[in-house]
Amino acid sequence: MNTIIKQVLLLIAGIGLSVSVLAANATNDAAMVTVPAGQFWMGCEKSIDPDCHATERPAHAVWVRKFKIDKYEVNYRRFEECIEAGDCEPLGIGGGCNFGWEGREQLPVNCVTWKNADNFCKYDGKRLPTEAEWEKAARANTFSLYPWGNSAPSCDKAVIDNPNGGNLGCGKGVPHDVGSKPKGASPYGAMDMAGSMWEWTADWYDPFYYNYSSYSNPKGPKQGEYKTARGGDLYARKAAELRTVTRFPYAYGNYSPAVGFRCAM
């Protein structure tokens, strides 16, 4: 074969390989992890967790069916596709909102209302996770305080307020790209389930829901004023805020620079 022709073919093959690699990298942020069906213990008890709050008690057995959940919090690259498709509303700007920042593609979406998060998940062929699904994805069938285990939160495991002083986001002052703390992964490989952003769940919030929660695939109260968010955020300095059992009520129609989401199916 002519040397020039060989070089052209190798160049074409190289371009094809590069495009394939770029495509793989571009879609990697949409990866999901699988959580097997089975029982786990949801909530906490003071005897095991001194920070266990009344809204997190009692610890109770819950069975959930097999499901998948986003490995990463939804980032701007993904969300802006939904905006361009007309299925999601533009996001809040200013006051800590990332929308409009240069180089925001891999930052977690923030300043997104519950409804807008729900719209994205539907656009993506998914849904928001229930509280039970979120907690099982974060801790599996363990009583671990955090996704990575029981060791104290630190900046090598989570995007949090710098515990040694300085600025939020581990001294960076802003959110980090999704998946930037692999040492903080959950037992199933989900990233950023402590710190970074509080994450919307599908459930309405009731501080005493655990007193009457169903055993099989609980879906939360039938109605309410607030939705439940999980996981803590980049402003968190207290370890108690970052525990996998921590529940936070957030107004259904509001948005915050500390609240994002991930989807399940």
Q: Give the per-residue pLDDT at 95.
A: 67
pLDDT-wise least confident of 16-20, 26-30, 47-51, 160-164: 16-20
234 part of a folded domain: yes
Which of 131, 146, 110, 257 minimizes the C-alpha distance to 205?
Answer: 131
17 part of a folded domain: no
CATH code, 135: 3.90.1580.10
- State the residue range of the domain holding 50: 32-260
Give the mean pLDDT of 92-103: 71
Q: 59: which DSSP letter?
A: -
For the chain, the domain total comes to 1
78 part of a folded domain: yes
15 part of a folded domain: no
Q: Give the per-residue pLDDT at 164.
A: 60
217 part of a folded domain: yes
138 part of a folded domain: yes
225 part of a folded domain: yes
Percent of the chain scoring above 90 in pLDDT: 75
Q: Which residues contact 158 (CB under 8 A, 6 or more apart)?
A: 146, 181, 184, 192, 194, 195, 196, 232, 242
Residue 167: pLDDT band by 50, 70, 90 thresholds?
Answer: low
Contact 264, 67 (CB under 8 A): yes
Q: Give the per-residue pLDDT at 94.
A: 66
Q: Give the per-residue pLDDT at 96.
A: 75
Q: Give the per-residue pLDDT at 7.
A: 39
199 part of a folded domain: yes
